[in-house]
Amino acid sequence: MKKKPISKLFLYRNRFIIGYIILGLAFIALLFTLPLFAQNGLSEAEMDSATSSYYLGKNGIINGDLVDLPYRVLQKISILLFGLTSYAVKLPSILIGLALGFLLILLLNRWFKSNVSLLASCLIVLSVPFLFLAGNGTPLIMLVFWPTLLLWLGSKIQGEKRPKPMYSFIFAISLLLSIFTPYMVYFAIFCVIFVLAQPHLRFIIKSLPKLPLIIVGVIIIAGFGLLGFSIFKHPDTIMALLFSKGYELGHFFGNLANGFSPVFSWHGSIEGVFLSPLISLPIFALALIGLFSTTKGFFASRNSIASVLLLFCIIITGFNPEAVIFIILPLSILVAHGIKYLLEKWYGLFPENPYARISALIPLTILFALIIIPGLLQYIYGYRYNPNIADYFSNDLEIIHKNLTDETLLVNNHYDFYKILEADTDIKVAEQIEGPVKNLAILNNPDNKPEGYVMTRIITSPREDNSDIIYLYTVTVNQGE
């Protein structure tokens, strides 16, 4: 009986589809379960984000409350639906991270062959910085989401002889919404300059139908006009969108050093919300190979854009050290270039030998497993047990939900954040006690006990230096009468 050639086998013909399905399922499962056992608790930035989102007014645009508006609307809806929990605070980032992951896969699949895009997608969406973004309940993820969405939409417009007008409309609306995210005004300007400077893109724009272009232009101009009107009434908004809170020009190089220090800290861990090294050495090496491989044919739009994005990342990191996370986008493109270069060199050694190509799967699988699995373990255990990282996150909210029912919670810090608990629980939150209450709980401050109360219980946590978190008191009989 004659054997079927390998190209006729079902698994071989559908290998990329099967690979993307496995990657997608693993990615979805990982995103929705990882916040349960990594990044144990909320950082101060997440508490501040949840507070500003929950108290977002209906007339936010008119009142000049524009910064990170799309994300904050999603986060407010999440807290209103599920109450004030760590998962509700992080859920918008999980959902946006899911969309971002698939956008990265689609973008790489537009620019590279299926084998390259699949391998690069595995490395990026399962990497430490990507998982951090998707599990971090702040608008930081929007800094990567909007450019990725705009690049993918741009590739759909560029790669078609007759682009569908719908992509142009979505591009315009996305660009309009993106300018509410800090530094995205720079990216919008960058897109315009890049299109004007790139000969191929200029030709594509000229060949597009005129009516969609006019409508897109009107939408963008109207959006910037609305933004300008709001900024005119509230000038402080422009500083938040262009720079960061409290930014000073003299801090630019200091911010650069602080921002990129986790990227290159392969020798040990440093303090901060980013787990170091932020980028593993093998992924960094692949990105370097990809960067050098793009020097040939640099002015092709796909080759030059990664380098320009790296420059953009450096600039915005000088404004805000946390903006270094934007490096995920150029990193994914450069990693794909690096994998493409290595595969082409390997295939070039055996141009007529299919068995040599197949044999490369074994070392390639081992290599990728040695990159991905340690990265996942680093993320899971690093955020829970690394003392330089764990102290930036607090699980007080989880302890409150488990131990308090109808007590009055006395807090000194993040009062507005914990006040949200009153919306869907019987817990009352106060900064000071004006009269006697039956059951009093004091958070992280045993010296704040008012007179006339006796301690009944101490709730502890192994993650705190002194173990004790909440002190429960009951009013004395005389005080309560």
**Does one domain contain both 150 and 67?**
yes
Q: In terms of domains, do 154 and 76 share one?
A: yes
In 244-280, which residue ranges form alpha helices assigned H by DSSP?
252-260
One domain, residues 368 and 399: no
Q: Looking at the structure, tell me whether residues 377 and 443 fall in a common domain.
A: no
DSSP 315: H
Of 388, 405, 437, the residue that ends a domain is 388
pLDDT value of residue 145? 94
Reported as a single tens digit per residue, the pLDDT across 379-414 is 888 887 777 787 788 888 888 888 888 888 888 888
State whether 142 and 206 are in the same domain: yes
Q: What count of other Cβ atoms lies within 10 Å of the Cβ of residue 325?
A: 26
DSSP state of 407: P
Encode 77-103: b = buried (16+ Cβ within 10 Å), e = exposed.
ebbeeeebbbebbbbbbbbbbbebbbb
Residue 185 falls within a domain, yes or no? yes
Give the end of a domain, one of 337, 364, 388. Answer: 388
Q: Write down the pLDDT at residue 7.
A: 55
Mention every residue, 6+ apart, whose C-beta is less than 8 A from residue 449. 442, 455, 471, 473
The reply to whether 326 falls in a domain is no
> Do 373 and 446 contact (CB within 8 A), yes or no?
no
- Tens digits of residue pLDDT in 200-245: 667 766 766 677 677 777 777 777 777 777 777 777 777 778 776 6
Q: Are strands 408-410 and 42-43 parallel, antiparallel or unpaired?
A: unpaired
Residue 227 and residue 108 share a domain: yes
* Contact of 60 with 404, CB cutoff 8 Å: no
- Residue 61 in any domain: the answer is yes
149 & 79 share domain: yes
Domain assignment present for 260: no
Domain count, the chain: 2
HEC letters along 16-55? HHHHHHHHHHHHHHHHHHHHHHCCCCEEHHHHHHHHHHHC
Residues 144 and 228 in one domain: yes
Question: Residue 185: is it exposed, middle or buried by C-beta count within 10 angstroms (0-12/13-18/19+)?
Answer: middle
> What integer pLDDT is reported at residue 251 of this predicted model?
80
Residues 381 and 401 in one domain: no
Asked if pLDDT for residue 11 goes beyond 70, the answer is no
Helix (H, G, I), strand (E, B) or coil at 470: strand
312 occurs within a structural domain? no
pLDDT in tens, 355-367: 666 666 777 778 8
Q: How much is the average pLDDT of 340-360? A: 73
Amino acid letter, 195:
V
Is residue 92 predicted with pLDDT exceeding 90? yes
Give 481's pLDDT tier (boundaries 50, 70, 90): very low
| 364 assigned to some structural domain | yes
pTM of the model: 0.86
Average pLDDT over residues 253-261: 86
* 61 and 133 fall within a common domain: yes
Please, which pLDDT band fits residue 163 given cuts at 50, 70 and 90?
low
- Examine the pLDDT at 94 and tell me if it is beyond 80: yes
Judge whether 336 lies within some domain: no
Tell me the residue range of the domain where 436 lies: 395-480
Among 388, 409, 439, the domain boundary falls at 388
- Residues β-bridged to residue 430: 410
In a domain, 265, yes or no: no
SS3 assignment, position 476: coil
- Among 70, 74, 99, 101, residue whose Cα is nearest residue 88: 74
